[in-house]
Structure 1
Amino acid sequence: MKHLNHHIKKYNESLIEGHIQKAYRGIIDTISQLKTTWDSRYPTTPSGSLYAGFMDMTFISVKPSVLSDMDLRVSIVYMHESHTFEVWLVARNRKIQSTVHNQLRSKELGKYSLTELGPGVDSIIALTLNSEPDFNDIEVLINEIIEKTWNFILDMTDLVR
């Protein structure tokens, strides 16, 4: 296993090139704009704080009332390594996650499938929204993510009832 100094040296070399800062800033700005657009479009289903992450994932969560009443929420997630946007059905804690996961096992999930639960797995159901996001057209990207997320919320609401 390489020492931390080696990784920091590689990190610093990458920073000198300047791409990491610009890309990361663009990702954060996009999620911030997504949050603002979501909140103006769905004021009764506001989003929570932006979680910047550790260059693994960046996300916001929304709490539709029906799901929130069951201690569930939906997270819109940018996965840095795979360069994808995903939407997740998540629970307030691991106990609720396990309970809902078990309840959904006996249901017909249609186009969805349950996530394999394990350490570090937050989603109950995950769906890729965009596997090749175009950050050069933020408005189109955000509208696509919001539309697909809203449809996911409607589907999840039907599934958990």
Structure 2
Amino acid sequence: MSTNDVELPEALAELRDAFLETPERDRLQLLLEVSRELPPLPERYADAPERLERVQECQSPVYAFAEVDDAGVVTFHASAPEEAPTTRGFASILAQGLTGLTAQQVLDVPEDYPLQLGLTKVVSLLRLNGMAGMLTRAKRQVREQLAAAQV
């Protein structure tokens, strides 16, 4: 699914537009600034990071979990080391962009969203694959929780 097939939720669209409106040479700096905005993990996860799922596509130890509440609203939690600011920036984009969406809105986010940020010339494809891995996991976790709620 690409951008043409679905309208992005406001927060994800705003983040994408911020990157695309930034000159290419400054986009990495913007990603580093966004990395500082990654929300801390809630206590229930902070003391038990193993409750979060390891994102194997990331070279750094990144853990993430998309939580669906009883109203069907998603909160995306992630931890990424400060010494991996690029990866932390991607986790922060997803935390800001997915949190507060409905489960269906998360499932409708285009798979190519990481590529839509205009970072392909400033970060490696391996790093972009890490963000794609976080998004893929978030969607799978949402689907699993929706299925469990229907049982």
What TM-score do you get using the length of structure 1 for normalisation? 0.27
For CA contacts below 8 A with separation 6 or more, give which structure has more relative contact order.
Answer: 2
Larger-Rg structure: 1
Q: TM-score, normalising length from structure 2?
A: 0.28
Q: Which has a greater percent of strand?
A: 1
